[in-house]
Amino acid sequence: MTESLPIALTVAGTDPTGGAGVLADIKSFHSREVYGMSAVTSLTAQNTMGVQDVFNVPADFLKAQLESIFSDEMPHAMKSGMIATEEMMRVLKKYVTKYEMPLVIDPVMISTSGHNLISEDAIDYLRDELLPAALTVTPNIMEAEKLTGVDIENEEDVRKAAKVFIEEIGVKSVIIKGGHLKGAAVDYLFEKDSETSLSSDRVDTHHTHGTGCTFSAVITAELAKGKTLKEAFHTGKNYITKAIQETPEIGRGDGPVNHFAYKGEL
């Protein structure tokens, strides 16, 4: 008899060159031996040099995709990435409150190349309505600053922002990624009564396109297997570090990471 596979769902935008968004998420799920499903929010025309165009899927069609999935099979964990409009976020909120499963929100706002991927009013809805529904939220430094209003330059500022996330915004936990701070690449997991930080040497490379998507997708995959958030955080960090150390040098600009590089225990 075949053993049943853990299933993870991503609700996110596409990047046709496969470095970020849905394709990066599915590659990450697959490499962790988790069956991947997706509901697409936006089609972007982008590559390693930047974002050329964006087409947002009508909110009703996002609903149709989610309905197709949830009326057929229940994923074990779910993540969201680029959710461009408040209308789409409202649709998503209905599903994440109706069906209970670990939810990881990667609050994607701006691409590395500086392109706005979500509207300003969607940011307010994200902070006030969606974040409290998540098991964890994985902002980078700029996203954490935008959502909390705290300027972040060092570890103390990271702690101040985490306090706002937990005590004011009402998130259950937050993982603040330090990829854009100076020095070592340190990420911080804050739960109500605990703090865990994981550090790795900074890799001297500009090939970091899709690191945030990949990191949060691996965490989601581990949660789908029933791992704890701390265990998932450790695997996510080890996976992304290896994926950045062994970038495949694809494209003419800021290239993607290597989804085959990490060979850790499944």
Ligand X SMILES: Cc1ncc(COP(=O)(O)OP(=O)(O)O)c(N)n1
Ligand Y SMILES: Nc1ncnc2c1ncn2[C@@H]1O[C@H](COP(=O)(O)OP(=O)(O)O)[C@@H](O)[C@H]1O
**Catalytic (active-site) positions:** 177, 208, 210-213
Q: How far is the CB of 220 from ligand X (least distance, A)?
A: 13
Helices 86-98 and 59-70, axial angle in degrees (round to 10):
20
Residue 5 neighbours by CB distance under 10 Å: 13
The single residue among 50, 115, 202, 231 that binds ligand Y, judged by CB under 6 A, is 202
Q: Which stretch binds ligand X (CB under 6 A): 92-100, 104-112, 122-130, 166-174?
A: 104-112
Binding partner of residue 20 among ligand Y, ligand X, none, CB under 5 to 8 Å per kind?
A: ligand X
Binding partner of residue 18 among ligand Y, ligand X, none, CB under 5 to 8 Å per kind?
A: none
Q: How far is the CB of 20 from ligand Y (least distance, A)?
A: 8
Closest to ligand Y by CB, 74 vs 184, is 184
The single residue among 31, 38, 56, 241 that binds ligand Y, judged by CB under 6 A, is 241
Total residues binding ligand X (CB under 6 A) = 18
Q: Which stretch binds ligand Y (CB under 6 A): 6-14, 35-43, 85-93, 195-203?
A: 195-203
Alpha carbon distance, N-terminus to C-terminus of the chain = 20
- What is the residue-wise DSSP string for 12-24? EEE-TTSSSHHHH
Nearest to 16, CA basis, from 24, 6, 8 = 24
Closest to ligand Y by CB, 103 vs 185, is 185
For 77, the enclosing helix (H) or strand (E) is strand 77-80
Q: How far is the CB of 192 from ligand X (least distance, A)?
A: 26
Q: How far is the CB of 195 from ligand Y (least distance, A)?
A: 16
Q: What share of the chain is helix, strand, coil (3-state, %, to 5)?
A: 40, 25, 40
CA distances from 138 to 47, 59, 144, 213, 233 (A): 23, 24, 9, 10, 10
CA distances from 244 to 149, 207, 240, 256, 261 (A): 30, 7, 6, 8, 9
Residue 48 makes contact with ligand X by CB under 6 A:
no
Residue 212 makes contact with ligand Y by CB under 6 A:
yes
Residue 25 makes contact with ligand X by CB under 6 A:
no
Site track 178-217 with ligand X (rule: CB under 6 A), x = hit: ------------------------------xxxxxx----
Task: Provide φ and ψ at 114, rounded to 5°.
Answer: 95, 10
Task: Quote the tokens at residue 13.
Answer: 């935008």
For 137, the enclosing helix (H) or strand (E) is strand 136-137
Q: How far is the CB of 180 from ligand X (least distance, A)?
A: 9
The single residue among 7, 8, 9, 82 that binds ligand X, judged by CB under 6 A, is 82
Amino acid letter, 241: T
Binding partner of residue 173 among ligand Y, ligand X, none, CB under 5 to 8 Å per kind?
A: none
Which residues contribute to the site for ligand X (CB under 6 A)? Answer: 12-15, 20-21, 44, 81-82, 108, 111-112, 208-213
